[in-house]
Amino acid sequence: MKKFLNNIDNMLIESLSGFATAHADLVELHLEPNFLTRKNKAKNKVAIISGGGSGHEPLHAGYIGYGMLDAACPGQVFTSPTPDQMLAAAEAVHADKGVLFIVKNYAGDVMNFEMAAEMLPFEHDTILTSDDCAVVNSTYTTGRRGVAGTVIIEKCVGSLAEAGADLQTCKALGDKINSRTASIGVALTSCTVPAAGRPTFDINETELEMGVGIHGEPGRRREAMRETDAIVKDMVDAILTDLKPQKNQEILLLVNGLGATPLMELYLIFNTAAKLLNQHHIQITRSLVGNYTTAIDMAGASITVCLLDDEIKEHWDSPAHTPALRWSI
Amino acid sequence: MSLKTSFICESAIAICAAIDSHEAEIESLDRAIGDGDHYINMKRSSEVIASMVNELKPLPPDEALNKIGMKLLSTIGGASGPLFASFFMSMAKVVKHNGANNPLEIAAAFAAGVQGIMQRGKAELGEKTMLDVLIPASTTFTISAAAGKSITEICQAVKAAADEGLENTRNLVATKGRAAGLGERAIGHLDAGAKSCQVMIHASCNLLLKS
C-alpha cells in the first residue's frame, strides 16, 4: 500500500481538518464527537443531517451548505458513525422545524441513526436511501444498498427544506426520489482500506466485478473484462429493468467515479450510456459526471438514473453552495 | 442470589480475557464468511468495558449495565455497537423496574436484553447470527430458573445450550448479519458473532461456577 498519510490513527482527523480549513467559508469541524456543520447556522428550516463511514468523499461533508445539508457525521473509514455524533450534530443545527436524517441503507448506519433518533429530543424523521439495483442483501445490508443516488436526494431534499417546507414534506420528497432512482456500479480494481493495508478483494487484470458496492462488497458476478460499450450496456439494462421508464421519460443521468477512474473515462462511459438511453427513447435532460460517491481508491464507476418530474427538476436546478456541488449561486 | 455490580465487573474482565484467548478461532471464522473486522471490534470493545470497572463499581447494577451500553454505543460503530448496546440497555431497564434479586428475575432481564438485539437487528432464530446462541441460552436460563434449579445446574445448562446453538449455525444459510449475501457459500462455517457470544456466555457462567 502506498498512500499519503502520516499516522494511520490520525488519518481521518487530519483529512477532516484539511477539509474544514480549505472550506472555512462554508463549514465548521467539531471534534469529540466528530461532526461538521454549516459555517453559518440556518434558521427556521428543517435541519438535514446525513452521515456514514468515511472513504466515500465528497459524500457527505462535501454537501454541507446552502441548499443541501446542515450537518454531516463522518465515521471511521467504512464504519458507521455513532449516535453521540448524530445527537451532537442535531443539537447544533436544529432550528425548530425538526431534524431529518438521510441514511444510506447499511445495517450499521441504519441502527446507529435509529438509536440516535430514539434519543433525540426534537421532532425527527429518516429517509433511507436504497438506490443500488445490483443486489438485494449483501455483506453489510438487508435490502438494497444506498449509493450515489443519495447525492440527488441530498440535493433535492436540501432545496425543499431551504424553501421552508415542513419535515413530512421533505421526507416525502426524499422517499419519492429514492423510489424513482436506480444505480449500479462496476469495479476494475479493489479499494484498500488504509488501516487494513491490503486490497479488500482480489481481482485480476482480466476481470471486473459487476454490481460492486461502495465498500468493495460483492456484486452480481465476477465477469471478464471487455470493451466499455458492452459493460455499460449491461449496467443500463439493469437500471432500465429496475425502473421501467416510459417512452420519452425525462431523466437525470449521473456517472460517478469510485475514486481512481479519471474523468476522461467517466465521460466515455457517459457517452455510451447516453447513446443507449436515447435508443430507448429516454430523454437525458439533467446530467452530472464526476467523483461524487467514492470507494476510497477503487478504479470503477457507477451509473445512476433518476426519473424526473417537475418537482424533482425544480429542486435539482435550485441554487446550492457546498464544497462539492455549487451552482446558480 | 441477586445480580450485583461486582459480578458485572468481574464478568467484564473475564469476558475480555476470554475474547483474547479465542483470537485465532474467532478471526478465522470471520475471515471465512464475514468482513474480517469482527475480532478487532470485540477485542476493542471488551477492553474498553474492562477498563471502566472502577467507574462502574460504585453504581447500582442497572446503572452499570446502562453505562456499559452507552459506552459500547459510542465506541464500536458499525452494526455491533447498537446491537450490543441494545442488549445492555434493554437489560438495564428491566433490572431497574423489576429488580434482579433471584435467578428468575435475572433470566427475565437477560431475555429482555436478547429481545433488544432482536428488535434492533430485526432478526430471529435461524438466520446465522449471534441470536442463534443467545436465544437458546436465554430460553434455557428461564426454564432452568423457573424449575428452581441450582446456580451450578443453571450455568451448565446455559453453557450447553450456547454450545448447541453455536454448532447449529454451521448448516444455516445466512439471511441477516455478516454472512448475508454469501447464500449457500456460508453453509459449513460457524458464525463468528455466534462464537463470540458463546465465548462470553462461557466466561460469565464459569465465573459463577467457580464462586
A1-15 tens-digit pLDDT: 899 999 998 999 999
Read off φ and ψ for residue B10, nearest 5 degrees: -65, -35
Q: What is the ipTM of this complex?
A: 0.84
Question: Is A281 part of the annotated catalytic residue set?
Answer: no
From A23, A56, A60, A94, active-site residue: A56
Give the model's confidence band at A237: pLDDT under 50 very low, under 70 low, under 90 confident, else very high. Answer: very high
| Contact between A92 and A71 (Cβ < 8 Å) | yes
DSSP structure class, residue A207: E
Q: Cβ neighbours of residue B34 under 8 Å, at least 6 residues apart?
A: B178, B179, B192
* pTM recorded for the entire structure: 0.92
Sign of the alpha-carbon dihedral angle for A24, A48, A78, A218: negative
From A94, A124, A215, A315, active-site residue: A215
Q: Which three cell numbers stand for residue B116?
A: 433488544
Identify how many contiguous H helices and E strands chain A contains and give both numbers: 8, 14
B78-131 tens-digit pLDDT: 888 999 999 999 999 999 999 999 999 999 999 999 999 999 999 999 999 999
Instruction: Indicate the residue of A84, A137, A141 with minimum beta-carbon distance to B74.
Output: A84
Q: Domain residue spans in chain A?
A: 20-179, 181-318
Tell me if chain A has a CB within 8 Å of the CB of B209: no
Q: Domain residue spans in chain B?
A: 5-210
Lowest model confidence (mean pLDDT) among A44-58, A91-105, A181-195, B170-184: B170-184
For residue A58, cis peptide bond before it (omega within 30 degrees of 0)? yes
Q: Which three cell numbers stand for residue B22?
A: 479465542
Please compute the mean of the pLDDT values over residues A263-279 and round it to a whole number. Answer: 98
Read off φ and ψ for residue B33, nearest 5 degrees: -135, 20
Mutation target for B interface from A73, A78, A111: give the one with most B CBs within 10 A. A111
Q: Which three cell numbers stand for residue B76?
A: 464500536
B155-193 tens-digit pLDDT: 999 999 999 999 999 999 888 876 776 777 788 999 999
CATH of A20-179, one of 3.30.1330.40, 1.10.1040.50, 3.40.50.10440, 3.40.50.1360: 3.40.50.10440
Separation between Cα atoms, residue A175 and residue A160, nearest integer Å: 13
| Contact between A146 and A105 (Cβ < 8 Å) | yes
Give the pLDDT confidence score for residue B181 in this predicted structure.
Answer: 67
Give the pLDDT confidence score for residue A285 in this predicted structure.
Answer: 98
* Cα-based distances in Å from B186 to A223, A266, B122, B143, B183: 22, 36, 20, 32, 6
Q: Strand, coil or helix: what is A124?
A: strand
User: Mind telling me how many Å the CA of B175 is from chain A's nearest CA?
Assistant: 8
Please compute the mean of the pLDDT values over residues A151-164 and round it to a whole number. Answer: 98
DSSP structure class, residue A30: E
Q: Which residue of B has its CA nearest to A144?
A: B181
Please compute the mean of the pLDDT values over residues A283-300 and round it to a whole number. Answer: 98
Please compute the mean of the pLDDT values over residues A18-29 and round it to a whole number. Answer: 98
Separation between Cα atoms, residue A52 and residue A113, nearest integer Å: 10
Give the pLDDT confidence score for residue B179 in this predicted structure.
Answer: 74
Strands A250-257 and A326-327: unpaired
| Contact between B205 and B155 (Cβ < 8 Å) | yes
Higher pLDDT, B25 or B181: B25
Contacts of A79 in chain B (CB under 8 A): 77-78
Q: Is B109 left (phi over 0), alpha (psi -120 to 50) or beta?
A: alpha
Smallest CA-to-CA distance from B62 within B97, B27, B114 is with: B97
Q: How many CB atoms lie within 10 A of CB B211?
A: 8
Name residue, grid cell 430458573: B145
B:116-135 residues touching chain A, CB 8 A cutoff: 120-122
- Per DSSP, helices labelled H in chain B are 5-21, 23-33, 38-50, 53-56, 61-75, 80-98, 103-121, 131-146, 151-168, 192-210
Separation between Cα atoms, residue A142 and residue A165, nearest integer Å: 31
Q: Is CATH 3.30.1180.20 correct for A181-318?
A: yes
Give the pLDDT confidence score for residue B130 in this predicted structure.
Answer: 96
Please compute the mean of the pLDDT values over residues A65-85 and round it to a whole number. Answer: 96
Contacts of A83 in chain B (CB under 8 A): 73-74, 82
Chain A residues whose C-beta is within 8 A of a chain B C-beta are: 33, 75-76, 79-84, 107-108, 111-112, 114-115, 135, 137-142, 196, 217-218
Q: Is CATH 1.10.10.10 correct for B5-210?
A: no
* Cα-based distances in Å from A234 to A137, A240, B93, B186: 21, 10, 52, 28
User: Does residue B65 register a pLDDT over 70?
Assistant: yes
Give the pLDDT confidence score for residue B180 in this predicted structure.
Answer: 74
C-alpha of B36 from chain center: 20
DSSP bridge pairs for A254: A288, A304
Separation between Cα atoms, residue B34 and residue B38, nearest integer Å: 8
Instruction: Indicate the residue of B75, B83, B180 with minimum beta-carbon distance to A111.
Output: B83
Contacts of B122 in chain A (CB under 8 A): 142
Please compute the mean of the pLDDT values over residues A72-80 and round it to a whole number. Answer: 94
| Contact between A111 and A195 (Cβ < 8 Å) | no
Contacts of A202 in chain B (CB under 8 A): none
- Backbone Cα Rg of chain A: 19
